[in-house]
A and B are shown apart, each in its own frame.
Chain A
């Protein structure tokens, strides 16, 4: 059949859309990270950690954070960082997603770091950039960007004798915090007047971190309970609210790239398998029923990549379209990763349902991350508000 293209509607140049490709520098960074993860975090090693209940891979995190400098990508050079941007940070996340790596990269190097960049705390930033310190933002990992500061659960009490000036005593429980067990430092949004963001020693007295049994055992969650713990304020009022909001938005945006990495890994693994696996005297990948499903996964992956790159590019420049970009990317990449991981299990057949095969690690990472920092549905609902598509009356 002959073609029909529609050229009548307002064609406009793509100048307004940032470069969505990977730069050479980004590809070089990817190669270094990929080599490290292939060497130190193959699927069997990840599975062994899960079995042993040692989900935080401290040596790997040290290598990634300090030796490769990935902890300092977002931190400028004057604070000892690499002065890179969310574009590079997102490429690293793609690789940690592909490897289902047991490292607090997203929670420390992206979320906590973003919050501290907003607060402008030079001392902590230096520690984070060098990989000496690991931090976590004490909010539930299920939190949707845009959650009101007033709903944070930690109460703010008066200082006690001997406390340094400005210090407050924090009490309360934050449930389901990712990266808390690996953290040296907690950033705690305190629900006082004004709202403030506090720095807390994660290992100090009065701090209890209770591990949860996480759906994704490679990213352990914990309930964090504070009992009159001294907190040093690093941001106050609007600044504090902005720092936490920026951390959640950046977290969701970079998590989209991680999810894209998971999706791509699932697709690659499945394609490799159906080429090898023979039934009915032919590779199962030659059956059209399977080919079409994998083609659909590939389509979803290509779409998710564009969305995730756009979110990273918008975050990198502080583009006003960032909220739209992050909502689009989180929903698209989350759905693509879950589709790819579910198809990965299904198209592997029996072996895909076993504990020994790594498919379940990817499935759990995909499903868990797709729900973390706002489900796809919540992000689409946010999008509706951002782009003026109001709901039906009464809804």
Chain B
């Protein structure tokens, strides 16, 4: 049994041995990444044979650092965040052996981008009420999916979609769902940009018209879709809670810098707001660090749900602060043209953009109201509201 430090040293040695046989400067990027995956050095907490070694997640840092120090290319995690953060854990937990073998390697290398097809115009907070139908084809057992999905980021470049669809309308809504990997590259899938209040279009609407799904692309059992989707959503909220960052590393850094640079704009009221926000942001950063320490030790707490609520409020209040501090410039906006950003960044644009974009933070990935319900019911164990929608067949619900 190796000590933790010994294990990390042994992993670093593995990386150096790997690099000795695979010169990143001398081989194509994709080939290098595939070889890294096959050597079990992609994500060490994944099982052997699937890019990992079954180690605690905490050892990944040592591996990434060793590769980065050698100037090796990475898999551009910002581009494939949904694949890494949501699709992969879901496939790992509920996928068949064949699916894990087929999907995880190109997912990790970035050859195949994944998107998430959950929300619908008629099913936001009440996700389980969704109406997209997947109907079984007589004979070969495959499926045909029809319906409309919305708020799908990177759908226009995605090869696969995590699709939650209704396979049985005659049972209560949670029981009639199934979960699929949808091939986005087919005629039955149409992707249209969805312009948002910031002027740009980060997201898409996805229209499915008899889109074909082989039964081998179903993830989990028929009727088990809700349970599989929970795994995806839990990972989404962990991801949204934010990664590690230094003090003043997020939006609070912009607000603090603006305050320091513009003494003429300071008022006592803004000062009070800024100190409160700075303290709240720093405490949230510490809470995030504690959450990651628990995750790394394999004892995750429920605090991820808190992180997302706090993150949304802080982004909104900090950007509002920054806009007010900007004075006359706060009445202007940088650009209303319809853009199609590949990934979201709050940085590199003005405070007006941050103010507007952060309104979405308390809506996307579970509204802050739904998150409070989840905290109250799942963390605190409070009773649910009396409901009329959970015992009735989905097709008989008022809508």
**A residues within 8 Å of B by Cβ?**
1-14, 16-17, 19-21, 267, 271, 274-275, 282-283, 285-288, 290-292, 294-296, 298-299, 302-307, 309-310, 327-328, 331-332, 380-381, 383-384, 387-393, 395
Contacts and interface: CB of A to CB of B under 8 A. Distances in A.
B124 interface: yes
Given A2-B82, A294-B376, A391-B266, A275 B124 contact: no
Interface in B239-279: 239-240, 242-246, 249-250, 253, 256, 259-260, 263, 266-268, 270-271, 274-276, 278-279
22 contacts: A1-B124, A1-B203, A3-B153, A3-B240, A8-B348, A11-B245, A14-B244, A14-B293, A19-B293, A20-B286, A21-B293, A283-B382, A286-B382, A298-B380, A299-B310, A302-B303, A303-B306, A306-B283, A306-B286, A380-B276, A380-B279, A390-B260
Interface stretch (B175-183, B219-227, B362-370): B362-370
Given A1-B365, A14-B244, A7 B292 contact: no
B130 interface: no
Contacts of A299: 306, 309-310, 375
Interface of A is mostly: helix
Contact of A392 (B81, B202, B267): B267
Interface in B97-146: 115-116, 118-119, 124
A286 B244 CA distance: 36
A395 B153 contact: no
Interface string B177-206: 000000000000000000000000011000
B360 interface: yes
A21 B278 contact: no
B386 A5 contact: no
A11 B239 CA distance: 14
A17 B375 CA distance: 26
A12 B245 contact: yes
A117 to B, nearest CB: 26
B275 A389 contact: yes
B382 A5 contact: no
B95 interface: no
B282 interface: yes
**Taking each of A5, A13, A283, A292, which has the highest tally of chain B beta carbons within 10 Å of its own beta carbon?**
A5
B372 A2 contact: no
A2 B115 contact: yes
Contacts of A387: 256, 278
Contacts of B294: 21
A7 B115 contact: no
Contacts of A13: 61, 244
B381 A287 contact: no
Given A5-B81, A285-B382, 20 more contacts: A2-B118, A2-B153, A3-B82, A3-B85, A5-B243, A6-B242, A7-B77, A14-B289, A19-B293, A285-B376, A296-B372, A299-B310, A303-B280, A303-B287, A328-B286, A387-B256, A389-B256, A392-B266, A392-B268, A392-B271
B245 A310 contact: no
**Taking each of B152, B243, B283, which has the highest tally of chain A beta carbons within 10 Å of its own beta carbon?**
B283
Contacts of A296: 372
Given A2-B115, A288-B373, A306-B290, A295 B380 contact: yes
Given A11-B245, A392-B268, A292 B290 contact: no
A208 B268 CA distance: 44
Contact of B78 (A8, A307, A391): A8
Interface residues of B, number: 84
**Taking each of A302, A328, A389, which has the highest tally of chain B beta carbons within 10 Å of its own beta carbon?**
A302
A271 B382 contact: yes
A381 to B, nearest CB: 7
Given A1-B151, A271-B380, A271-B382, A17 B310 contact: no
B382 A8 contact: no
Contacts of B245: 9-12
Contact of B343 (A7, A9, A393): A7
A373 B124 CA distance: 47
A291 B377 contact: yes
Contacts of A383: 275, 278-279
Nearest to B372: A295
Contacts of B380: 267, 271, 291, 294-295, 298
Contacts of A393: 263, 266
B306 A3 contact: no
Contact of A285 (B297, B363, B383): B383
A2 B263 contact: no
Given A303-B287, A392-B270, A12 B244 contact: yes
B351 to A, nearest CB: 15
B337 interface: no
A179 B249 CA distance: 42
Given A12-B244, A274-B382, A294-B380, A381 B275 contact: yes
A332 B283 contact: yes
B2 interface: no
Nearest to A270: B380
B330 to A, nearest CB: 17
Contact of B382 (A9, A20, A294): A294
B271 A298 contact: no
B345 interface: yes
A88 to B, nearest CB: 18
B333 interface: no
A395 B290 CA distance: 36
Contacts of A286: 382-386
Nearest to A332: B283
A348 to B, nearest CB: 15
Given A306-B286, A380-B276, A384-B275, A11 B244 contact: yes
B397 to A, nearest CB: 20
